[in-house]
């Protein structure tokens, strides 16, 4: 894992997505540079083996992906950050 520390502060918790000590999720590595992120994920037996790249803004994460198992691709898939408060 590597980061230059320049991820927008509203996404700083993205680092918690990549916890190598958690046994029930896929494993991977990630890199960030300014507003760009690259990461991959795989699990035992490579049932999941996907590479991601994208751009992070204050409220949006836009990702491209490549699935190494079936060679499928997706481009400019947009995710919005939601700040929810519960009573």
Predicted TM-score (pTM) of the model is 0.65
For 64-73, the pLDDT digits (tens) are 999 888 899 9
For 8-50, the pLDDT digits (tens) are 555 556 666 656 666 667 777 888 888 888 988 887 666 778 8
Strand order in the sheet with 49-56: 2-3, 27-33, 36-42, 49-56, 60-67, 73-80
User: What one-character-per-residue DSSP string does 10-52 give?
Assistant: GGGGGGGG--TT-TTS-EEEEEEETTEEEEEEE-GGGS-EEEE
């Amino acid at each position: 894992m590597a980061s230059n520390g320049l991820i927008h502060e509203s996404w700083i918790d993205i680092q918690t997505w990549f916890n190598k000590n958690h046994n029930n999720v896929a494993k991977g590595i990630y890199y960030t540079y300014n507003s760009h992120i690259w990461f991959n994920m795989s699990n035992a037996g490579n049932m999941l083996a996907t590479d991601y790249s994208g751009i992070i803004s204050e409220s949006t994460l836009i990702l491209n992906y490549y699935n190494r198992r079936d060679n499928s691709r997706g481009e400019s898939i947009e995710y919005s950050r939601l700040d929810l408060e519960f009573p």
